[in-house]
Structure 1
Amino acid sequence: MWGTNGNCTIPTNATGIIANITIVAPTAAGFLIIYPADATQPTASNLNWKAAQGATPNLVTVGLSASGAIKVFNKFGTVQVIIDITAYLLPATTAAVGGRNRISLDQIARLRWDQDPGRVATFATGNNPGGIAFDGTNIWVANSGDNTVSKINLATGTRTDYPTGHGPNAIAYDGTSIWVVNASDDTVSKINPTTGTTAGTYATGNGPSFVVYDGTNIWVTNYNDGNVSKINPATGTVVDTYATGAGPQGIAFDGTNIWVTNYTDSTVSKIDPATGTKTNYPTGLLPQGIAYDGTNIWVANSASSTVSKINPVTGAKTDYATGSRPMNVAYDGTNIWVTCINSDAVSKINPTTGAKTDDPTGNGPIGVAYDGTNIWVTNYTDSTVSRLLPGQ
């Protein structure tokens, strides 16, 4: 991967890449695994498909080997693979935050710390932002208070608002389109990220809450129905509906299974995406957000002020303290980030030790996402989004 290929130059100290991986013309049902060339092949897949399925993308973050290489494994048949690199990752620096390379010497001489790209920044959104996602280029925020979604430039915070359905509260990206859950309409909107045009609005179950893409289908949790909808992203058709626990909210994909937090049950459901077979494991009280870090499942327990680290094979859990009333979870490749709405802060947690540092946000932090460089947090009460540098 190191060197210049086309318009992309990757330095020899790069440790990983972020890429849009697209499969084309598969001859058989199968799956794809992307991993460092000198590592043991993992069991979790990055993309899954059926025979003759149309072009299917997924955003993948993968480490590089000591020689700067990756391996691509296809289980069955043949398939064309397109790797479109959007960013590369560099080793963490041991220099203090605010080191001389962040801004120029001229900027330092003129005391232009306002131009420091690593400083904490706050940008306006629509009213009452909640769900948040990154599409490889821009940050997207669902604004439940004015029925819009905001597309936000990473560097400047400049935003464009596009209409959605009523009560948009969650958002996901499938490699091609932005998907927005409209809680008040019992629908999900499919939006073109370039034009903001709504390509389709499709029915879900009652009380849709969160959304995720598994490389093949869109999945939406239906809080009032106690189930999850599996949706064909091309047609918007509900392919299947599978039972969860009571009050399903957060949803994540670990490369093999779908995971759903059950708010009323205080459990998490592991669901086979092909059959709907589920296994429930205990969490803390009133679980909401959920994320996968490549090894473990992480669940924010809103009434316990904890986050649960769950072994995806056994369901065994370890609980770590967070701020007050944790809401949602994200992983930045090193740390776990949990928004804590009553603390007006985001908790940065070491996934091995559980050691915690709280960073201030705006008022009412709910959603959290990572863009490959910064952590982004939606502040529901302020109608803003905060941009934080993970090293700060």
Structure 2
Amino acid sequence: MAFDGTSVWVANQFSDTVTKLRPSDGARVGTFAVGKRPLGIAFDGSSIWVTDNRSNDVARLRAEDGEPLGTFPVGEAPAGIVFDGVNLWVTNRGSGDVTRLRASDGALLGTVAVGANPSGIAFDGANVWVANSGSNEVTKLRAGDGANLGTFPVGDGPDGVAFDGVNVWVANFFGKSVMKLRPSDGVVIGTFAVDDGAAGLAVAGPHLWVANSGTDRVTELRILDGRVVERFRVGKTPAAVAFDGTHIWVPNSGSNTVSKRQAVGPA
């Protein structure tokens, strides 16, 4: 799921499409065909990029109208995707690596080996962070050239990754927790309990939102100290979270719905 500044985009993994929603009322603006089993979505300022997990490529759509702009091969079983301001980075679960594509034309710039089953990915302004769900660690890559700057242990089954402007956060799917890491050296600053199946993460102002697929809830945490602000019931099997500047959006893969909630809360 991603927000492009105007619309919310949702990957429909079992229908091989993405849906564009109007944030004001959730109305469907359009649904567009992509590759097989779409999972991750990123916005580069003009285009939407979608990882196609079963066809081992990424699809590029014009954000304005969903017009297809190309399909580009990556590694095996691509999952997460992030834009660093110039290039796209794609995690390939099946091949244990990350692919770097030039956003202007989709050209392959390189492939970097990381840990086992890389899933979530985030950019901190200088580096790319990859959650390796099969090896319980995160890898830090220099965005400029893909150099491996270190691998750091986290919890059980790391999935989502997010950057809050100061720290990196990792959701541990099987560990029922999120971890806060110092970007300079990967040191774990804190570990905070959440619900089962911690997956996607999103930062919204002073709070971090966590999709808990095992309990059909999202957890809202205070970034300052990791304190749980509130837990909210959503649809079945929430997998990700996106923030549109005002509201939190959650795709519920088990009920084929999305949930929308006001993000404003106490600091």
Give 1:274 shift. 2.7
Partner of 1:190: 60
State yes or no: 1:305 paired with 2:176: yes
What TM-score comes out, normalization by structure 1 length?
0.66
Question: In terms of Rg, which structure is larger?
Answer: 1
- State the 1:351 CA deviation: 1.4
Please name the residue that 1:249 is paired with: 119
Deviation per CA, 1:38-63: give whole Å up to 9, x if none. xxxxxxxxxxxxxxxxxxxxxxxxxx
1:314 to partner: Cα distance = 2.0
Shift of 1:235: 2.0
The one-letter amino acid paired with 2:245 is: G
Secondary structure at 1:225 match in 2: coil
| Post-superposition offset of 1:224 | 1.3
Partner of 1:271: 141
Q: Give 4+ residue runs of structure 1 displaced > 3 Å after superposition.
A: none
Tell me the equivalent position of 2:24.
Answer: 155
Larger CA deviation: 154-163 vs 170-179: 154-163
Counterparts of 2:260 and 2:247 in 1: how far apart (Å)? 6
C-alpha displacement of 1:234: 2.1
The farther-off stretch of 370-379 and 153-162 is: 153-162
Q: Which residue of 2 aligns with 1:209?
A: 79
Q: State whether structure 2 residue 98 is matched by structure 1 residue 224.
A: no
Q: Verify the 8 A CA contact 2:206 2:224 in the aligned structure 1.
A: no
Answer yes or no: is 1:383 the counterpart of 2:256.
yes
1:334 maps to which residue? 206
CA distance in 2, matches of 1:325, 1:230: 28
The gaps in structure 1 that reach 5 residues or longer are: 1-131
160-169 vs 233-242, greater mean Cα deviation? 233-242
Q: What are the superposed Cα offsets for residues 322-356 of structure 1, whole Å, 9 maximum, x if unpaired?
A: 11110110000110000000110000001122211
Alpha-carbon distance in 2 for matches of 1:214, 1:269: 16
Q: Secondary structure at the match of 1:162?
A: strand
CA contact (8 A) 2:37 2:53 kept: yes
Match of 1:259 in 2: 129
* More off after superposition, 133-142 vs 275-284: 275-284
CA distance in 2, matches of 1:178, 1:300: 24
Letter aligned with residue 328 of structure 1: G
Q: Percent identity?
A: 37
- Residues 243 and 276, structure 1, Cα contact 8 Å, conserved in 2: no
Q: 196, 208, 232: which one pairs with 1:359? A: 232
| TM-score w.r.t. length of structure 2 | 0.96
